[in-house]
Amino acid sequence: MRLPRLPHRELGRAWRIAGIALLGLLLGFFSLQGQEQPAAPQGVAKEHGPFKADDHAIPYLDMAKVAQAYKSYGDPKPRVVKAGPVNAATVSKAAEEFIMAELADRKCKPHGGACLRAGDKWLCTYQLQYEGIPLAKTTDAMCIIHHDGHALVFRERNVPRKVNATKASVDRKAAVEAAQKDFKERSKEQKAETTDPCLEIWVESELQGRLCWTFTVTNGSVVKPHAARYWVAAVGEVRVVAVENLIHHVHGGSVTGTVWATTPLRATQSLPLGYLDVTCGNFRGRPRPSGLAGDYFFLPTGGNTRIRATLSGPACVIEDHSGRAVLRRDKRGDGSGPINLDFNAKGEFDIAQVSAFYWTGVARDFAKDFLLPSHLWQLTTRVNLNDTCNAGFSGADVSINFFRAGKGCPNTAFSDIVLHEYGHAIDFAHGGILDPGYSEGFGDALAMLVTRQPLVGRDLNGPGSAIRDARKVVAYPPFRPEPHFVGQIYAGFTWELIQQLDKRSKHHTDEDAFEVAKRLILTADAMNPKDIPDAIRLAFLADDDDGDLSNGSPHFAQLAAAADSRKIPRPPEPVMTPGPRHAYIGRLGTHHLVAGAGTGMYFWKSAERLATLKLEKADADCWYYCEKESPMHRWAFARMANSRGRFAVWFIPAGSSEGRKVFFHFAQRVTPDSPMERK
């Protein structure tokens, strides 16, 4: 990615500079008539470490040392708009001529700018050039013109007395390399992309102009960006003269809270609070939700800033029924660094608030791809209800509810329990809970998929206990109708599916068993199953990729094994029609299959398989290959495509003259780019 060159014409910059000028007038800068503020003596640029969020705009330059002079005019004030109406066009032309005359002895001329009307005044700010070469951003000229056409104030800023050169002797490539080296050391990044270098004059202390190559360097990231503007000497020694940090994280920070990471009987942790509404400024400010990592950012507001948050956000709104107020945090900062909020809770009731908020956010983020934005928006989440040893989902007001500690049970606003109840809420959002037994099983499945372990309700009945263990085999049909008992059948299916997928992932290293299970289980729920057998069928349909379950699906074997382990009805075994396997032969990254040798890739139920092949012989009909790693395996590739435009592939075991013909479904073909795919 190459970034465009930063423009010199910036309307916002003109407003800012003009505003500074007006502020200067109000503070009495008129007294500096014709006098120049003394410039700091020439010195060695100070060292700077890595780029930081609170870096000054130009780390190598102290703006207090930028020389500027104001000139105000007594009566009679010079008239700069000589004739005609005083409007934007006439003022702009007059301002350019006026600035040119004021700077005639410096050989500097206006180079892009703007005249803006503010009340009864025109504020005219211009960048400058020296013999056709632009001066860098710390140099400009400004004048204020009254609406009657008379000049009121003139300001020159950092206008050089002398310029060292107007032609470069340093190669632009060398300048770029010097800047990239500096950028990598500061940003700790290996990537350093640059825009095209151009010449500018940077004005140093004592108003000495130095010809420089200038350009932008960036790491190309929008998530964790680093970007800087560099000025590198274009004459003499190749060195970085100035660097401007272009990334400004103002009024940002993170939100953390004290959470029961597992259960209330184990240690708490300080964890990031995602989906928390954070407000910047006054109480009428619009809140922004924190990211899942607890980070938030606001645009700069300037000066002291107030950041506030309570336990409320897109995922849930906490209600505390212990009589305690819902926790709130309120903090001020000057914008020089991050403003972090910490919901550091103590005591059961406060930690219950934070834990319920945290785990509800985790659950929503986990299931977000299977929910509409309106689903479970700001879910009412009640904590510390006056009961014990249980929790519940209510479809009456769409809420999840958690009880306080008592009767040997801990507070129930912790991981497994919150995730289970959120599972009920997801099932409800997808068309209502049709079967309580399935919904209980789905709630347990969600808890297991998030926590990646088979126990639900850990420590609820004492240290080391669990109210359900998905490894326990409960078969279909259930011999008693109690929903939690019935739910163990589906939870057990889910855990066994994860185990089967984990075995498969040893051969398919690009697959994560929990991620595949998540996709199948949550997709099935999104189709609103009427009971557990229906949920199983929907999981197979979620896995299918050609609309025909009779020929199997990519994870058919794993789904079937999991269903069979709990004796749940499932689709029948696929019918495999004898015939050639259809394969995609050709490009995969840097792999190519050529006439002599290469890599073949074929698809078996959408799972890619690779084999390194060596050509043995060829005739008019086929190329014949053997696998390099397993020479006993032989391949034959037909020269002609079949009726569907795919290439037929026979797998020939060692010692066989006919070959074992196995039909491979769901092959793909791309634009041919090797001899193997010509017709």
What is the number of domains present in the chain? 5
204 and 231 part of one domain? yes
Distance CA 527, CA 262 (A): 31
In a domain, 363, yes or no: no
Strands 252-260 and 391-394: unpaired
Average pLDDT, the chain: 79
Which pLDDT value is given to residue 660? Answer: 37
Burial label, 454 (beta-carbon count in 10 A; 0-12, 13-18, 19+) = buried
560 and 595 part of one domain? no
Distance CA 446, CA 393 (A): 14
Which pLDDT value is given to residue 306? Answer: 83
Task: Tell me the one-letter amino acid at 187.
Answer: S
In tens, the pLDDT along 54-64 reads 443 344 455 66
In a domain, 364, yes or no: no
258 and 302 part of one domain? yes
In a domain, 409, yes or no: no
In tens, the pLDDT along 620-639 reads 656 676 767 666 666 666 55
Whether 16 has a pLDDT exceeding 50, the answer reads no
Cα–Cα distance list, 593 to 122, 611, 612, 625 (Å): 71, 10, 9, 11
In a domain, 415, yes or no: no
3-state SS record for 317-333: EEEECCCCCCCEEEEEE
Q: Where are the alpha helices (DSSP H) in 135-201?
A: 172-187
Looking at 99, 129, 157, the residue that finishes a domain is 157
Looking at 157, 186, 206, the residue that finishes a domain is 157
- Residue pair 526/533 in contact (Cβ under 8 Å)? The answer is no
15 and 146 part of one domain? yes
In a domain, 373, yes or no: no
Distance CA 254, CA 24 (A): 37
**pLDDT confidence of 288, banded at 50, 70, 90?**
confident
DSSP state at residue 53: T
Looking at 245, 261, 281, the residue that finishes a domain is 245
Whether 359 has a pLDDT exceeding 60, the answer reads yes
In a domain, 548, yes or no: yes
Mean pLDDT of 491-516: 89
Whether 33 has a pLDDT exceeding 70, the answer reads no
**pLDDT confidence of 674, banded at 50, 70, 90?**
very low
Cα–Cα distance list, 424 to 436, 447, 529, 556 (Å): 9, 11, 13, 27
**Per-residue tokens: 86:** 């005083």
**Other CB atoms within 10 A of residue 425 CB:** 27
Cα–Cα distance list, 352 to 274, 360, 489 (Å): 16, 12, 31
Which pLDDT value is given to residue 167? Answer: 95
CATH number of the domain bearing residue 349: 2.60.40
The torsion defined by the Cα of 302, 306, 308 and 314, in degrees rounded to 10, comes to -10
111 and 178 part of one domain? no
Spatial strand order in the sheet of 288-289: 288-289, 277-280, 305-310, 328-333
**pLDDT confidence of 282, banded at 50, 70, 90?**
low
28 and 147 part of one domain? yes
Mean pLDDT of 427-438: 93
**Per-residue tokens: 504:** 């498969």
599 and 666 part of one domain? yes
> Which range (6-20, 213-227, 333-347, 448-462) has the least confidence?
6-20
**pLDDT confidence of 32, banded at 50, 70, 90?**
very low
Distance CA 122, CA 119 (A): 8
DSSP structure string for 362-382 = HHHHHHGGGS-TTTTTTEEEE
Whether 265 has a pLDDT exceeding 50, the answer reads yes
**pLDDT confidence of 459, banded at 50, 70, 90?**
very high
In a domain, 489, yes or no: yes
Which pLDDT value is given to residue 42? Answer: 32
In tens, the pLDDT along 289-317 reads 988 889 887 755 445 678 899 999 999 99
112 and 194 part of one domain? no
Domain range for 662: 581-677
The number of helix segments (H) and strand segments (E) in the chain equals 10, 32
Which residues does 562 contact at the CB level (< 8 Å), separation at least 6?
A: 493, 494, 496, 497, 499, 500
Which residues does 92 contact at the CB level (< 8 Å), separation at least 6?
A: 114, 115, 124
441 and 557 part of one domain? yes
In tens, the pLDDT along 582-628 reads 333 333 333 333 345 555 554 444 444 566 777 777 766 566 767 67
What pTM was computed for the model?
Answer: 0.57
Which pLDDT value is given to residue 597? Answer: 56
In tens, the pLDDT along 211-247 reads 999 999 998 876 567 788 999 999 999 999 988 877 6
Cα–Cα distance list, 246 to 184, 187, 205, 345, 537 (Å): 15, 12, 23, 38, 54
In tens, the pLDDT along 64-86 reads 678 889 888 877 888 999 888 88
Mean pLDDT of 507-528: 90
28 and 146 part of one domain? yes
Distance CA 643, CA 83 (A): 84
Distance CA 137, CA 14 (A): 11
pLDDT above 70 coverage of the chain, percent: 72
CATH number of the domain bearing residue 212: 3.10.450
Which residue shows structure tokens 């290959």?
625
Which residues does 422 contact at the CB level (< 8 Å), separation at least 6?
A: 359, 360, 363, 364, 367, 376, 379, 400, 443, 446
Cα–Cα distance list, 73 to 78, 96, 104, 590, 656 (Å): 8, 18, 19, 72, 104
533 and 469 part of one domain? yes
In a domain, 526, yes or no: yes
CATH number of the domain bearing residue 489: 1.10.390.10
Mean pLDDT of 193-204: 94
Which pLDDT value is given to residue 99? Answer: 93
76 and 100 part of one domain? yes
Which pLDDT value is given to residue 610? Answer: 60
Whether 672 has a pLDDT exceeding 60, the answer reads no
Which residues does 37 contact at the CB level (< 8 Å), separation at least 6?
A: 67, 68, 69
Which pLDDT value is given to residue 29? Answer: 28
In tens, the pLDDT along 85-120 reads 888 889 999 999 999 999 999 899 998 888 888 888
> Which range (77-81, 388-392, 410-414, 492-496) has the least confidence?
77-81
Reduce the DSSP state of residue 166 to 3 states and report it: coil
Which pLDDT value is given to residue 605? Answer: 42
**pLDDT confidence of 248, banded at 50, 70, 90?**
low
Which pLDDT value is given to residue 611? Answer: 66
